[in-house]
Amino acid sequence: MQAKNGDNVKVHYTGKLTDGTQFDSSAGREPLGFTVGAGQMIKGFDAAIPGMAVGDKKTVNIPAADAYGEKNPEAIIDFPKENVPVDMVLEPGMPLTLTNQYGQPVPVVVIEVKEDVIILDANHHLAGEELVFDIELVSIN
């Protein structure tokens, strides 16, 4: 039996950048479950599953466009320094969480601290990256 769109599957995976740096893995955890083709996974990962049988393993390279997208220049934000608590020390590379107009958290990273503003990057931390996944299909339900 081969996996197809609409199947509920479980996979083990390891995600890496093209330089070999690992950013995520299911090793030592329960396998990841999702519905194939339902948009629950990044596009390139989802597209790798149809045609796999239980026990199959594969490695897929996923271009940024089919992963977390390219870096969006509109997601670089000038945040007024006056809105930051006086005692808060900000440095480039520091992760922060803002709240959008709907009350939802928005993770950002400090890029630069200027006199009047802090430059923040709200892109996903893997945006603009080609990703490499080692995938093993564990079950099809």
- Nearest Cα neighbor of 25 from 15, 35, 37, 34 is 15
pLDDT tens figures, 95-104: 999 998 999 9
Answer yes or no: CATH 3.10.50.40 is held by domain 8-69+126-140: yes
pLDDT tens figures, 79-119: 999 999 989 999 999 999 999 899 999 999 999 999 999 99
Report residue 11 as tokens: 């996979």
Report whether 127 contacts 65 (CB < 8 A): no
Residue 45 carries which DSSP code? H
Within the chain, which residue ranges are assigned CATH 3.10.50.40? 8-69+126-140
Q: Look up the CATH number of domain 73-121.
A: 2.40.10
Which pTM does this prediction carry?
0.84
How far apart, in whole angstroms, are the C-alpha atoms of residue 127 and residue 105?
18
